[in-house]
Amino acid sequence: MQDNKHENLLEDYRKPLLKFLECGFPRLKDEVEDLVQRVFAEALECGFDKKLDAVQLRRWLYTTVRRRAIDYLRKWERRAFIQLAQKQSHSDLSGAVEEEGGAGPQTQALEEERRQRQGVLLSQVLQEFVRWCESSPRRILLKEAYERALRGQSASQIAQAMQVSSQQVYQWCSDARCWIYDRIIQKDIDRTVFLTWHRARNA
Amino acid sequence: MKASVPQFQSFAEVVRWVIQELGGLCPSQERLLQWKAEPQREDLRDVRFHVQEARCQICLAVLEQEGSSPQSS
């Protein structure tokens, strides 16, 4: 009877959580039922439905489904970078084949092993960048300018929208790119994840 | 039917996807809710752009659920 009460409590959240996921993560529309069900199972397993009060439970459910959705998409992000790196290294390997008479199984195994170590993803680095900007009021404008640039606005459009000079916009965007690039260099030691970026920087 | 992994042809496409669908530039939840309470605050202008102009779907969904919950309805 008591268990039914707790299950009903979770069921009250099913529709709102499904709607939340469908609105926030439309690409996952075919996965949302599974995601919510897994989070409910997690809540029941950890006893959160009994340990937490209604407000805490609600916060935990929304935070957790959001995290699980992003985790799910990050697996895709990883695969996307691997695909891009593979395309790049295949063209590298074809060059090597011509020069050295063929890439042996050892080279290919090394490449595979390097790809396995690709652990750092752009979304994580960007989130760290956002936290860095948020830690100082001076960097809020830098963050806004860089987001505008990433979303396709030109320097003059950004300058006009933010009522600053284009020179200031260039400086902010340059600072942002340097911070992000340095962070990637620290983490992507093998330079396998962001091949294109490294090459563009070194060109 | 399971969703399929998007096919990207360039790094720029991945960057756009990371920003639009993975919330790569989303503000912290705390700042997002502060902006909801005080939308004109100058120190939250980046959040205003992110939500109102860029229309981040993740942040909009968070704000919407904050306004309608089983408890508050």
Q: What are the pLDDT digits (tens) for A122-144?
A: 898 999 999 999 999 999 999 99
Mean pLDDT on B49-66: 94
Contact A62 B62 (CB under 8 A): yes
B35–A contact, CB cutoff 8 A: no
Burial class for A62, CB neighbours closer than 10 Å (0-12, 13-18, 19+): buried
Give the pLDDT confidence of A64-105 residue by residue, as tens digits: 999 999 999 988 888 887 777 776 665 554 444 444 445 566
The mean predicted confidence, pLDDT, of chain B is 85
Q: Distance between CA atoms of A180 and A5, rounded to whole angstroms? A: 49
Q: Distance between CA atoms of A184 and A180, rounded to whole angstroms? A: 6
Query: Within 10 A of A4 (CB to CB), how many other CB atoms are there?
Result: 9
From the candidates B1, B2, B14, which should be mutated to test the interface with A, based on the most A CB atoms within 10 A?
B14
Contact A134 B31 (CB under 8 A): yes
Q: Distance between CA atoms of A27 and B71, rounded to whole angstroms? A: 28
Contact A122 B61 (CB under 8 A): no
Contact A27 B69 (CB under 8 A): no
Q: What is the pLDDT of residue A167?
A: 97
